[in-house]
Amino acid sequence: MLDLAVIATVFGLIFVGELPDKTAVAGLVLGTRFPWRWAFVGIAAAFLTHVIIAVAAGSLLTLLPRRPVEAVVAVLFLLGAVLIWREGLDEEAEEEAEIAAVPETAGFWRVAGLGYGIIFVAEWGDLTQILTANLAAKYHDPLSVGIGAVLGLWAVGLLAILGGKTLLRVVPIKWITRIAAVVMTALGVYSAVVAIRG
């Protein structure tokens, strides 16, 4: 049974966590060079692949005793907060160069494949992948977590492709990064308290 509260919570957390990420910038660059629908198909497929992997990993954690899982989740949330706080723009130059190497006359399959490849590689061990696994372990509801995570990632991908430049004029990336880090810290502290209380 789907839990709309879990879907909404996961959507919000993943959306905020992915906004300052390098994959949003890749989506923005792809969307400015190629037809947005082609770019989105590849990006959406890559995000779906990563959510399936993360939810499966998180579901395996639910087989372990609750207190140690909450402790691990707390550490991962806090680690994620540190990583997102420090999230830099270093890797974006590499992705932009890779995109620039593809001619603007490329067809659907090449553009979608490029979008899939960039996001698939960039998301390994990424904050939102770790967060999705944590949330799957926390809520014991892989389907609701998976739906919320996919929708959150797709929303950021679409936002990046269609309006990323405008958003960054209104809300600086530094603020988005800081908000995401504060949310992750709060989740880490909450999970630590649950682990200590048992």
Residue 171 predicted with pLDDT over 80: no
Residues 102-145 pLDDT 10s: 666 678 888 888 889 888 877 777 778 888 988 898 888 999 99
What mean pLDDT do residues 167-174 have?
65
Among the residue ranges 55-69, 112-126, 154-168, 179-193, the one predicted with the least confidence is 179-193
Do the Cβ atoms of 34 and 106 come closer than 8 Å?
Answer: yes
What are the structural domain ranges in the chain?
Answer: 12-197
Identify which has the larger pLDDT, 177 or 131. Answer: 131
Write the secondary structure of 28-51 as one string of H (helix), E (strand) and C (coil): HHHHHHCCHHHHHHHHHHHHHHHH
Share of the chain above pLDDT 90, in %: 23
Residues 35-73 pLDDT 10s: 888 889 999 999 999 999 999 988 887 777 777 767 776
**pLDDT given for residue 173 in this prediction:** 60
Residue with tokens 């067809």: 107
| pTM recorded for the entire structure | 0.69
**pLDDT given for residue 143 in this prediction:** 95
**pLDDT given for residue 89 in this prediction:** 42
Do the Cβ atoms of 154 and 44 come closer than 8 Å?
Answer: yes
Residue 154 predicted with pLDDT over 90: yes
Rounded-to-integer distance, Cα 142 and Cα 24, Å:
25
Residues 23-35 pLDDT 10s: 766 777 777 778 8
**pLDDT given for residue 104 in this prediction:** 62
Buried b (16+ CB within 10 A) or exposed e, 121-142: ebbeebbbbbbbbbbbbbbebb
Rounded-to-integer distance, Cα 8 and Cα 108, Å:
32
Nearest to 152 by CA among 185, 189, 175, 180: 180
